[in-house]
């Protein structure tokens, strides 16, 4: 925004304007999704749902979604919503990793993710996606 203000001031100076009116730009927080969705996603991400056997995502992917390198849990923060939703649906269907001759086996965490993802409802996935996209 600072560069836009500087450009506007320069332009105004060059063309002799004395008054500049700049529209207020919204401040992006990283959580631009529907609050009802990301708040539910935050609750599930941070605390899981013991009644349905869903562990907290943060247990493996970290509180800020940065993953856990030594344990080989990937970073998931700031992912595109469609990508995350597609991956969770693929895990639930056990199609995230296809067995291909000559290719490495699925990572050790795949079985855990298959089990977790199949317990997520479509509403859970929408909520998690909304929360994960805003993790910074």
Residue 16 CA to residue 12 CA, distance in Å, equals: 6
Q: What pLDDT does residue 35 have?
A: 77
Residue 66 CA to residue 79 CA, distance in Å, equals: 11
Q: Is 1 exposed, middle or buried (0-12, 13-18, 19+ CB in 10 A)?
A: exposed
Over its length of 136 residues, how does the chain's per-residue pLDDT go in tens digits?
445 554 444 444 444 443 444 344 444 444 456 777 889 999 999 999 999 999 999 999 999 999 998 888 899 998 888 999 999 999 999 989 877 778 778 887 889 999 999 999 999 999 999 999 888 7
CB 76 within 8 A of CB 84: yes
Q: What pLDDT does residue 109 have?
A: 82
Q: What pLDDT does residue 20 have?
A: 41
Q: Which residue segments constitute the domains of the chain, with CATH numbers given? A: 29-134 (1.10.760.10)
């Amino acid at each position: 925004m600072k560069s836009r203000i500087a450009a506007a001031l320069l332009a105004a100076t060059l063309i002799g304007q004395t008054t500049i009116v700049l529209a207020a730009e919204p401040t992006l927080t990283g959580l631009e999704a529907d609050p009802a969705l990301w708040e539910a996603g935050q609750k599930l991400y941070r605390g899981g749902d013991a009644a349905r056997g869903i562990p907290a995502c943060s247990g493996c992917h970290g509180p800020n979604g940065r993953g856990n390198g030594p344990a080989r849990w990937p970073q998931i923060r700031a992912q595109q919503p469609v990508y995350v939703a597609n991956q969770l649906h693929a895990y639930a269907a056990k199609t995230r990793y296809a067995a291909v001759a000559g290719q490495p086996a699925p990572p050790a965490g795949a079985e855990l993710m298959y089990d977790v993802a199949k317990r997520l409802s479509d509403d859970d996935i929408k909520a998690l996606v909304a929360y994960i996209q805003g993790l910074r």
